Structures are given as C-alpha cells and as structure tokens.
Chains A and B, each alone.
Chain A
Amino acid sequence: GDSVTQMEGPVTLSEEAFLTINCTYTATGYPSLFWYVQYPGEGLQLLLKATKADDKGSNKGFEATYRKETTSFHLEKGSVQVSDSAVYFCALSERRDTGRRALTFGSGTRLQVQP
C-alpha cells in the first residue's frame, strides 16, 4: 500500500536558519502530495501541495518540489521564524483515477525554532 516516510524530529533551529524536512513516498500511480502543519491544540492546516511531477508548491516562504524520479517531496524554507514552530506532516492522496480522497500521512516532524 501507499506510505510516506518523514525524517524524525524534533528539528531544532535558530531563527533565520535554513530548514529542510525530508519526505519520501511509495505509491501506485500518480498521487498528489501535500504538506500540512499542526500548531499545538489545533487541527491540520494545508501548507502547500503539488499534483504532478516537477510541480513546485509554495506558501508563506515554504517550498516543496514533487520529484517523481526520487519519489520525494522535501519541505524547505530559507529563513525560519519562531512562529514556524509546529509539527509538519507530509501526505499523499490515493490514485487520482479512483476518485478517492483518503490521505496517507507521514509520522510528522516537530520543528522547534529558538530565538
């Protein structure tokens, strides 16, 4: 079945440092890929998405590129802020031709940004 593997956290960075959170996936067909963020005590917020190979999703300074050849979707940000401290989840949708929307999530990576 489909699966998503994320780097384990926590990741601790100083403010303005460069961030990379690795995400690789296994899926049949051509899934859509997503990054979600969860702040303490809250639900998940969609951060960015990519629906086909070589697509780059971006939002709030975060970027990720859908790499089919390496089955990866790494999250990057050039300069993190304390307010970016949260848990980040990589996820994929099922094969588009099924019409189903079930998301498969990675285990999450906690990011702590220190001032």
Chain B
Amino acid sequence: KAGVTQTPRYLIKTRGQQVTLSCSPISGHRSVSWYQQTPGQGLQFLFEYFSETQRNKGNFPGRFSGRQFSNSRSEMNVSTLELGDSALYLCASSLVGDYEQYFGPGTRLTVT
C-alpha cells in the first residue's frame, strides 16, 4: 500500500507570495493532519481535516488555511508568506477512530 505522498517536495518562494501544498493520504485513510517543523519551534500542529471539514486547528494565524476534498486529499495554503514560514510541512493521515498517524516525507518551504 502506498504511503502518504506530498507535493512538491521542495519549494522556494518570495516574501509576500502565497503557496499551496498538497497531500494524498494512505488509501482508506480519511483523516488528514498538517504539522509545521522548524528548528526553533519544533513540531507544531496546524490543523486536521475529516470528511472535508476542519475538525481541529492549532495556534497559527489566519494566513494558514487548508481544505480537504471528497477523495480525502488535502491542500494547505499559506498567504502573504513571511521569512518565518520557512519550514518542513508534514502531512499525516489516519484511519477513522484510530490515533496512529502516518506521515509523508514533507514539503520543504524556503521563503526568501
């Protein structure tokens, strides 16, 4: 069974631009969560989607948003990029009713 896939793997953007990251969960997994990983703040929860609805949201500004499609694929969007948004963005999927999360390889975003 294929794992969680994320595209693109690497991205370089300029301050002020916006970016969209994509995540395809493991087949059969309907819950998708997003995390930001930085050297300073570590791993922080962004949001969780299930059945195309945001179920939970971390402590991030409104510039960070996401959505989930009917096939469980998810996207996250960051608008008006700041230098501090440079990070590894990780997507994780899980089965309904299960608390194990399986992570993708991440998208490395660099904001210049």
Contacts and interface: CB of A to CB of B under 8 A. Distances in A.
Task: Specify which of A45, A100, A108 lies most central, judged by the most chain B CB atoms within 10 Å of its CB.
Answer: A100
Contacts, number: 57
B99 A104 contact: no
Contacts of B104: 43
Task: Specify which of B44, B58, B101 lies most central, judged by the most chain A CB atoms within 10 Å of its CB.
Answer: B101
A57 B72 CA distance: 29
A45 B45 contact: no
Given A103-B35, A103-B45, A42 B99 contact: no
B22 interface: no
A4 to B, nearest CB: 10
A6 to B, nearest CB: 10
B43 to A, nearest CB: 4
Given A43-B106, A89-B43, A107-B42, A101 B101 contact: yes
Contacts of A45: 103
Contacts of A106: 42
Contacts of B42: 105-108
Contacts of A49: 99-100
A96 B45 contact: no
Contacts of B102: 46
Given A32-B99, A42-B105, A43-B106, A100 B56 contact: yes
5 contacts: A43-B90, A43-B104, A44-B90, A103-B92, A108-B42
Given A43-B90, A102-B56, 12 more contacts: A43-B103, A44-B90, A44-B92, A44-B103, A45-B103, A46-B102, A49-B100, A100-B55, A103-B101, A104-B45, A105-B42, A106-B42
Interface of A: 32, 34, 36, 42-46, 49, 51, 89, 91, 93, 96, 99-108
Interface of B: 4, 6, 31, 33, 35, 42-45, 48, 55-56, 58, 90, 92, 94, 99-106
User: Which 5 interchain pairs have the tightest Cβ spacing?
Assistant: A105-B43, A44-B103, A43-B103, A102-B45, A43-B105
